[in-house]
Chain A
Amino acid sequence: MSTEVVYVLAASAVFGAGVYGLIVANHLMRKLLALNVMSSAVFVTMLTVAGTTPEGPDPVAQALVLTGIVIAVAATAFALALLVRLVQETGLVSLRAKDDDGA
């Protein structure tokens, strides 16, 4: 078993855990945690399946992951701001309640 194999398998399991959490979790912040877990798994997959060059892991994959990390944190920060406002307005931390139909 090589290093890459271990990380590929772990990453796909983590991705699955993230999908599961995103669907099943109730609290919006836990859904965001699940999304972040998923994105980490995607990044690890991206680097490991891209293989290595003589000078370390594939530089393109590394660059893509760096870009992805920044995008993920930006999206998370915005989602948290939205979440905080939503809780302030409605007092609810989940989307399960019946959609209010106010104009």
Chain B
Amino acid sequence: MAPDALAVLVFAPLVAALAVIVAPPRATTALALAGIALTAPALWVVTAAVLGGEVVEVALAGAAPPLGIAWRADGFSLTMAWLTFVVVAFVSLHALASFPSTSDAGRRFWPMWLILVASVYALFLSADLFNLYVTLELVTLTAVAMIAIGGAPAAMRAAMRYLLLGLMASLFYLLATALLYGQTGTLDLYQVGERLGEGALATTALALMITGLLVKSAIVPLHVWLPAAHGKAPGPVSAVLSALVVKVTLYILIRLWFWAGGALDDGLAAFVLGLLGAVAIVYGSIAAIVQTRLKMLVAYSTVAQLGYVMLLFPLASTAAFRAVTFHVLAHGVAKAAMFLAAANLLAALGSDRLQRLVGADQRYPVNVLAFALAGVSIMGLPPSGGFVAKWMLLEAAWQSQGWGWVAVISAGSLLAAVYVFRVVALAYAQPRPASSVRRPGTTPRGRFGATSVAALALAVLAIVLGIASAPVLSLIDLGLPPGMAP
């Protein structure tokens, strides 16, 4: 039962994508929603099995590794799969309005969207180095194509830069895969971990692989592609890029490090990765503070928030793992909400210059509220999911007496407060009489449509995640790396 459910996760969106391409446009909405909705019961089935204490595993085509590829779902991959489902479901709701299936843009959007969903699920299930490469390429190409969907030159330049760096990163990853296969004779991540001894080869291969993954995860200083790509993409695409696409490579990185990376298990490499994270937090936050455009601000905020994930490597404790995984969830939901709200405001105001936001709450209260709620989580204020994550991370850093990390985490929250409050304060500011006159050409759209509901729902979820964190954490506890006790 549960192994078949894994197949549904990948095949349902994929079949929907194919059907959408072939079928007439009027069937698109139903097919797409069906493809995404079908993954929910499948996720329930797998979750039930995992909560029952088993790791759901299936050898595809009956060929167990090293002969073939295995899908494997533990608490960690399942947490990520749930994040995928939640974000995708709500962003799809937004996309129904912003990419109507009968429009030109909609016809291009939906097949790629569904393939992206299928490939992200496939990535979280896969434990095979080469299969991960293929899914990564699929995710990258789809993401790039979707950034360019609007057709604006700026978006296409951003897409091009992302594509070039993404392809380069993939090749680094693939070269490392080649070396690891030569050395160990297997591509299965866990078997590689068992067979790979220490030595120059292991260090080289893992270093290459990590470099590639860091580029794709936009960790400072390899982040140059991210702000433009996320800032210039259409709203739903930005949301899913920040919430999911940059996380998939971090997921692989964590898997690699804690499940297969015995060879790199020394303090220096971990410290360097943590240091990159710390730099990312500070740099990204400051860059976000000085932005003049809302979506670019949100994009730089992503650069900063990704930094927290990197702190896992030096801390390397159960507490840190739980905290970081929870942070990925909380940030994913909150950032999706933020990007959707920002996109709605951009569509309504005709520009996302921050000055134009003055008094926005009176005309677009739902979207401003969504942005503010999501901001609460990004800043890490109670009772949000972001608060729980950052509190746990602080505790983890405190326990291991990493005072430097403690300082960075606290500073990051303060800086986040600055850029979030900057936006919120503008939006709630009393407009001067002159500027309250609606400018010609701005539409009242997004007042309380599906687009606003999607943003608000995700934002509320980001808060609820903090209140109801216990069940999520118990799921995370079932996916702890080997050697970490709950």
Contacts and interface: CB of A to CB of B under 8 A. Distances in A.
Contacts of B163: 75, 78-79, 82
B60 interface: no
Interface string B280-294: 000000000000010
A89 B153 contact: yes
Name which of B145, B148, B160, B352 has the most chain A CB atoms within 10 A of its CB: B160
Name which of A19, A61, A99 has the most chain B CB atoms within 10 A of its CB: A99
B433 to A, nearest CB: 26
Interface stretch (B164-172, B325-333, B459-467): B164-172
B450 interface: no
Interface residues of A, number: 39
Contacts of A74: 141
A17 interface: no
Contacts of A99: 154, 157, 228
Interface in A64-99: 64, 67-68, 71, 74-75, 78-79, 82-83, 85-86, 89-90, 95, 99
B270 to A, nearest CB: 26
B447 to A, nearest CB: 21
B181 interface: yes
Interface in B280-329: 293
A89 B154 CA distance: 10
B130 interface: yes
A75 B137 contact: yes
B38 interface: no
Interface string A40-53: 01100110011100
A55 interface: no
B160 A86 contact: yes
A68 B137 CA distance: 10
Given A49-B181, A61-B181, A86 B156 contact: yes
Interface of A is mostly: helix
Interface in B329-352: 346, 351-352
B241 to A, nearest CB: 17
B175 interface: yes
Contacts of B346: 103
A38 B134 CA distance: 17
A7 B154 CA distance: 42
B159 A102 contact: no
Given A39-B171, A102-B152, A103-B293, A71 B137 contact: yes
Contact of B160 (A45, A71, A83): A83
A45 B153 contact: no
B156 A82 contact: yes
Contacts of B145: 78
A45 B183 CA distance: 12
Nearest to B186: A60
A28 B156 CA distance: 13
Interface of B: 130, 134, 137, 141, 144-145, 148, 152-154, 156-157, 159-161, 163-164, 167-168, 171, 174-175, 177-179, 181-183, 187, 228, 293, 346, 351-353
In the complex, the 3 A-B pairs of residues with the closest C-beta atoms, listed nearest first: A49-B182, A46-B178, A89-B153
20 contacts: A18-B171, A28-B160, A35-B164, A42-B174, A46-B177, A50-B181, A50-B182, A61-B181, A68-B174, A71-B137, A74-B141, A79-B163, A79-B164, A82-B148, A82-B163, A89-B153, A89-B156, A95-B160, A103-B346, A103-B353
